[in-house]
Amino acid sequence: MKIITVIGARPQFVKAAVVSRAIQQQNGIEELIIHTGQHFDANMSDVFFEEMSIPKPSFNLNIHGLNHGAMTGQMLEGIEKILVNEKPDAVLVYGDTNSTLAGALAAVKLHIPVAHVEAGLRSFNMRMPEEVNRILTDRISNWLFCPTQTAIDNLVNEGYKHIGIPMLNVGDVMYDSAMYYATMSEEKAQVSKQFDKGSFVLCTLHRAENTDNIDNLTSILDSLNQISKEINIVLPLHPRTRQIIAKNNLRVDFTMIDPVGYFDMIELLKKCSFVMTDSGGLQKEAYFFAKHCITLREQTEWVELVNNGFNEITGSDTARILSAYRNLPNRKADFNMPLYGDAKAGEKIVQALMQKA
């Protein structure tokens, strides 16, 4: 069986590492990786392949820095050419990026089965490009590998039982990854060594709804500046967002650092007091490492984190952010709750693919 995996953004490298490792342990499967180039610089891309022993991509499309339509269109064209030449038995896509949708569209138009890892997630906000990507990808996939029961329920509510596509709750591949790499992160991390345990808040900020909306960005930075008077904030920042902050002369009173590799991110999670983020993946990773999270978005696809008291949604509103921060000492939650499977999602995905083949 020949599988082509399409990835392009940092969270997908982490997810692909889990399934690629399971594929390598299975006889009879050949995997080729297409890297679309969506995240392209060394800190956002190369370091993950080097650190995590992910097989080097067989193809790199080097497509980045474009608007959504141009980016997705160029990816679709490039992926299609590779699929025509390679004739895989299945195409494997992850999550909800432009790379995800382009890979799924290219495959389905060539009648190649599509497997969607992290299927069924919904924020119910159609203004988010990620929501559009994940809904469309789910509908044209042949395997829907869901990370949670909530994701299964979303698909059932949308009528997927009547479509006849397998919906499998395999658990979360990011949980597999976090547990596997946490055993070696302290030895391999570098940047995190400069920060003491419990002395800082870990923050990330990258979604367009925050970084491209100056009012939202200013409000979030104002909140972070106020919080940083009491505890330092460490913000690994994408170069594009750093440029937006500089261009608009926005004030930053806390620690901005370059994007970090996965091992450093794990160590920062282990050491931080709590997490503030607009990332989907980091909300879960905070939970994996028993840290409360303030989510700088109006919705989250990880509703079980909110419902069980691990996560509070604030959007970009300064008053809500500061209120959530002040309320943190009162939050109690059981981090032993098994929300995301048994850390065997990768194996279950590969077994399902082999059975269908």
Burial class (CB in 10 A: 0-12, 13-18, 19+), 334: exposed
Contact at 8 Å (CB) between 10 and 39?
yes
Catalytic residue, from 39, 64, 162, 206: name it: 206
What residues form DSSP beta bridges with 94? 117
Q: Checking DSSP bridges between strand 293-295 and strand 200-204, what pairing results, if any?
A: unpaired
What residues form DSSP beta bridges with 115? 92, 143
Taking the C-alpha atoms of residue 344 and residue 342, their distance in angstroms, rounded to an integer, is 5
118: left (phi over 0), alpha (psi -120 to 50) or beta: left
Taking the C-alpha atoms of residue 33 and residue 47, their distance in angstroms, rounded to an integer, is 16
Let me know if 206 is a catalytic residue. yes
| Segment holding 200, helix H or strand E | strand 200-204
3-state SS class at 213: coil
Structure tokens of 75?
């990816």
Cα-flanking dihedrals φ and ψ of residue 297, to 5°?
-140, 165
Contact at 8 Å (CB) between 300 and 283?
yes
Nearest partner of 173 among 93, 239, 104, judged by Cα: 93
Residues annotated as part of the active site? 206
